[in-house]
Amino acid sequence: MAYPSELLYTKTHEWARRDGEEAVVGITTHAQEELRDIVFVELPKAGRAVKQGEAAAVIESVKAAFDIYAPVSGTIARVNEAVSKSPQVINQDCYGVGWLFAIRPSSQQEFTTLLSSGAYEKQLQAGTHQ
């Protein structure tokens, strides 16, 4: 399953999983395939407040650096230190061990602005795919 249906998606290729009080965030299969060769990850500090759409992390591939945007506003609750140590796990398992950070959302409202897996796949087919 390239785009699990239990996740919510952003147009900028992040996914969010609602998990109790938190939203766990990572990048999609499409993003991981486009970036390829991930060699460095810069994660936000726990406790940092982020706004929806704000650059919260940076992923560097061999070729270039890319911003990762917060799918919803809130406070960074936890970060995944495992991806800092072995960035390539994002390429290997972007929905599992390759998650990036968890946000404690400031409101539930913003989740309604995110895409379902179907809508996200439609967006991919419409434009960015070559």
Token couple for 57: 């992390």
Q: How far is the CB of 32 from another protein (least distance, A)?
A: 11
Residue 61 contacts by C-beta under 8 Å, 6 or more apart in sequence? 35, 36, 37, 38, 39
Q: Phi and psi dihedrals of 21, rounded to 5?
A: -80, -5
Q: How far is the CB of 122 from another protein (least distance, A)?
A: 24
Tell me the C-alpha distance between 54 and 12, whole Å.
11
Write out the binding residues for another protein, residues 101-130 only, by CB under 8 A: none
Token couple for 51: 């706004």
For another protein, how many residues bind (rule: CB under 8 A)? 12
Q: Assess 54 for contact with another protein (CB under 8 A).
A: no
Beta carbon nearer to another protein, 20 or 127: 127
Instruction: By CB under 8 A, name the binding residues for another protein.
Output: 36-37, 39-40, 42, 58, 60, 62-65, 88
